[in-house]
Amino acid sequence: MKDNRRNFIKKSAAMAAAVSVTGLSACTGSGNKGPKDKTTEASADSPSSKVQWPVVFGPDKPKICVGIGTGDTKMMRQYKQVGVDYVLMGGPKVPWTEQSLREIMDPFKAEGLTVINMMIGGNQNIIYGREGRDQELRNIQDSVVAAGKAGLPVVEYNFYAHRFMAGYYEVLARGGSGTTAFDYERGKNLPSDEGTLMTAEALWNNITWFLKAVVPVAEKAGVRLALHPNDPPVPVSYGHAQIMATFNDWKRLIEIVDSPSNGMTYDCGVSKEMGEDPLEVLRYLGSRDRINHMHYRNVTVQQPYLKYEEVFFDEGEVNMFAVMKEVFSIGYKLGIYPEHARAIDYDKEHPGGIRNQYPGGGGYAGQVYNVAYTKAMMQAVASM
């Protein structure tokens, strides 16, 4: 019994030594080269081995951007320090002028940041088809012209008759962090205070009137319009129809005026919230060159459209790597916004700056996590 045990120990030690020597030879490159070494040689010639590090992205690649308030030099520096070169924000008072835009954009430029997208408002009468919409239209047309002169490539806008915010609430997640959950049942029966209830037909008529008048102006100015989809994508918001809440709605929108200037903000998270395949949506819009801005985030869905949770990028149901591969495949080169930072203790202890205002939303540190994750996905795809 003892002899058997002694022999087993000796044999085990000999095997371990052999494995160690073989492993050492493989690591150092010494020793005779066998089949495994040939495999190693082949991998050295793989595409990923030919990628030069650090991986950087030129003008024909997606551009990570974050939301920053105007005039916040400290925040500009903080994001520049973590590798962000592009920003987005709300625009000045409508109608925009070249001067009013440059007054916002130039300070960012001085800090090495480029403003890639501004959200425009002042379109409530257009949405509702009310008196005063003609003046709003002229204001937006003039603003788009000014954007072109100032070098602003994307103007984003909403077309909500009403945005259903009552369904959001915070959920405690890993380590006591906060995530943003949504449940339509929490507020669907609350009364509306938005005046005349808008039907889908009326909203489609109004957005068609708007796009046919604005898109030709945007084309001439060299500006792309990006319509933000309904988020949350509920079918009805306090009695108001939602016309940007389904994939079919998105398809219909880009057919109203056939132009790259008539595009959307693609959101892989919202696509999943609607029960769609984010890759299918991405390919459809991307193959038609109708993605003029992009949101990058992850969710888990309990019931499409009605119940879901916005989670950390690494925890959701969206294959974020597959999405990024497709983004590169279609040749997308505008802004990609890693949005909706999660609530973490560090941001609670260091208030201030731009924050995700949804329940369970975070601040700078949470956004840095989003940015780092997104850049890692980009570098991984570029290294394939």
pLDDT in tens, the chain (384 residues): 444 444 444 444 443 444 333 333 333 333 343 333 333 333 455 555 688 899 999 999 999 999 998 888 999 999 999 999 999 999 999 999 999 999 999 999 999 999 999 999 999 999 999 999 999 999 999 999 999 999 999 999 999 999 999 999 999 999 999 999 999 999 877 766 667 899 999 999 999 999 999 999 999 999 999 999 999 999 999 889 999 999 999 999 999 999 999 999 999 999 999 999 999 999 999 999 999 999 999 999 999 999 999 999 999 999 999 999 999 999 999 999 999 999 999 999 998 777 889 999 999 999 999 999 999 999 999 999
The confidence score (pLDDT) of residue 29 equals 37
Exposed (0-12), middle (13-18) or buried (19+): which is 56, by Cβ within 10 Å?
exposed
Query: Residue 243 corresponds to which amino acid?
Result: I
**4-37 burial, b for 16+ CB within 10 Å, e for fewer?**
eeeeeeeeeeeeeeeeeeeeeeeeeeeeeeeeee
What pLDDT was estimated at residue 41? 38
| C-beta atoms surrounding 282 within 10 Å | 24
The torsion region of residue 238 among left (phi > 0), alpha (psi -120 to 50) and beta comes to left
pLDDT at 26: 35
Q: To which residue do tokens 């909706």 refer?
A: 340
- 10 Å CB burial of residue 343 (0-12, 13-18, 19+) is buried
Closest CA to 201 of 96, 129, 287: 129
The predicted structure's pLDDT at residue 45: 55
pTM for the full model? 0.87
* Cα–Cα distances in angstroms (integers) from residue 221 to residues 150, 208, 225, 322, in the given order: 10, 20, 11, 34
Pairwise CA distance, residues 338 & 370, whole Å: 6
Residue 183: predicted pLDDT: 97
User: How far is 7 from 191, CA to CA, in rounded Å?
Assistant: 83
DSSP category for residue 356: -
> Which of 95, 156, 170 lies closest to 295, judged by CA?
156
What pLDDT does 48 receive? 58
Residue 188: burial class (beta carbons within 10 Å; 0-12, 13-18, 19+):
middle
